[in-house]
Amino acid sequence: MTCGDPARHEALKVQEFLKLVRIGFLHSELPVSRSLRGRIPERAWKRIARERGIWTRATASDLDVFDWIALFALVHHLDDR
């Protein structure tokens, strides 16, 4: 995502973050690894879950805001490859 206006760039990042959280909660009864399938590889999910002390079968509501931010950073990093 390239954008000359820093404020617009930040607004787009916020929108992308909220979209990720929405997707996670869309099927809130499912583990995050399943609700975000296609957005985050299973291996990456297991790694971040281990690093952050998250149960690998955690649902969206089990994650705190900092977990969601870490997931967003990971997804963003994967998208930049």
**Following DSSP, what letter does each residue of 49-69 receive, concatenated?**
HHHHT--TT-BGGGS-HHHHH
pLDDT at 36 over 70: yes
According to DSSP, residue 77 is labeled H
pTM for the full model? 0.83
Q: Give the Cα separation of 72 and 22 in Å (integer).
A: 12
Q: How confident is the model at residue 75 (pLDDT cuts 50, 70, 90)?
A: confident
State which amino acid sits at residue 80. D
* Bridge partner residues of 59 (DSSP): 31
Arithmetic mean of pLDDT, 27-35: 94
Q: What is the mean pLDDT of residues 41-68?
A: 96
- Chain-centre distance of CA 48, in angstroms? 10
